[in-house]
Structure 1
Amino acid sequence: MTHIVSESQVKSARVSNSVKMAVLVRALRNAFGMSQEYLAKLAGSSRPTINRIETMDKRSPRANTLEDLLRVFQAMGVEVTIFDEEVNIRFTKNAMIAAGNTMGLNAVLEHNEKEEQLQERMARMVREYQNEMDAMRQAEQSATPEAEKD
């Protein structure tokens, strides 16, 4: 279902803390290539708790859970400042490198996956070509003896 929101509604609406935390946690977790399970382990929490935060479940997470999550990202070199209308995220050089490496690794994995798919497709084409050639040879061989008999 699509909701149309006017510009004045957007300007007057305050972003709730649950929305801020959902966007923040998911964005940082994805930037560092972490699963919900791994982030939960680092924060001393559970995967369902991380999922509830990211999906803005009606049950509010405990404040110390959110603080633990922010500490995990802070230890990775991310500085987060939460204001009423915005969230500022600053990456240290090492954090940018780590996130960049994750993105690069994902790109390499995607490339390798595409390369494997291409190789499989090419191998299938070669097999089909060989099968067609074999069928043509068999057709020629079966046609030749009949032609010689006439």
Structure 2
Amino acid sequence: AYRAITVPDLVQQMFDAKNMMCACDPRKGKYLTVASIFRGRMSTKEVDEQMLNIQNKNSTFFVEWIPNNVKTAICDIPPRGLKMSATFIGNTTAIQELFKRVSEQFSAMFRRKAYVHWYTGEGMDENEFWEAESNMNDLISEYQQYQEAEADVQDEFEDDEDFEE
């Protein structure tokens, strides 16, 4: 049976791990930022409510130290052949899973110098591979730190005499 898609359906599908376009599970990390673009005739109020609802229900999957980290936009012209659609872009610390796998595969191949001659033959220096590996490991560490970071609101406002609690 056919059923028309609704705004709650779109929002649920956007955050569903099965719909991610990379091999990582967002439930194993935290969202730093999210941008979503909705297309079609829909209520701005309903979109805002649904997005807020999913953030409140899943607050452990969003970092608390970046305020207003979910942005939405609505274009009232639907895509051809559909009543409504949504595009979702999320920066999640779960991406470190994928980076770790790529890094492990790269390291295993690079230790054996697999394919390196093709690159050095085209003018690359072997040190560029070491640097790339180091950059990837730094990126993994950075995402790990972001995942573990906590909001330190008290320290943030200590120097601000105008702040009222």
* TM-based fold match above 0.5: no
Per the normalisation by structure 1, the TM-score is 0.28
Per the normalisation by structure 2, the TM-score is 0.27
The structure whose residues are more often strand, as a share, is 2
Which structure is larger by alpha-carbon Rg, 1 or 2?
1
The one of the two structures with greater contact order (alpha-carbon pairs below 8 A, sep at least 6) is: 2
The structure whose residues are more often helix, as a share, is 1
